[in-house]
């Protein structure tokens, strides 16, 4: 069977999306909960946007790591390269979600 045409493992896909979203929530909560007095120019419910966008970006990054599956590669160097690529893709997705979520408030 061709590895590129493998059937989707929906359980693993959902698991990676949830792990990515939970890491996104943890990151954004670390910053949101530290705000005692929000800046007067921020919107009234300023914390909703980062708590929605950052976990969504983390979930998208987790889903992207599902598709860069290191186990389909035969050589060790290819597997290591795939693992590095998954980490980079996830970090960039999470960073973009964090920037979009905090834009106009803490990211100014």
Q: How much is the pLDDT for 4? A: 58
Token pair recorded at residue 49? 């946007």
User: Whole-model pTM?
Assistant: 0.84
Is residue 30 over pLDDT 90? yes
Is residue 24 over pLDDT 90? yes
Predicted confidence (pLDDT) per residue in 37-47, tens digit = 888 888 888 89
Q: How many helices (H) and strands (E) does the chain have?
A: 3, 0
> Exposure pattern of 44-59 as b/e (b: 16+ CB <10 Å)?
eebbebbeebbbbbbb
Token pair recorded at residue 70? 């290191």
Q: Which residue has the tokens 């290591």?
A: 80
Token pair recorded at residue 23? 């890491």
């Amino acid at each position: 069977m061709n590895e590129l045409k493998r059937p989707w493992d929906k359980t693993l896909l959902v698991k990676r999306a949830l792990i990515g979203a939970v890491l996104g929530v943890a990151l954004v909560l670390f910053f949101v909960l530290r705000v005692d007095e929000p800046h007067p120019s921020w919107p009234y419910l300023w914390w909703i946007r980062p708590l929605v966008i950052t976990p969504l970006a983390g979930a998208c990054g987790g889903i992207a790591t599902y598709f860069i599956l290191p186990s389909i590669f035969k050589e060790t160097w290819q597997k290591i390269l795939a693992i590095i690529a998954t980490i980079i893709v996830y970090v960039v997705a999470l960073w973009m979600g964090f920037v979009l979520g905090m834009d106009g408030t803490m990211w100014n």
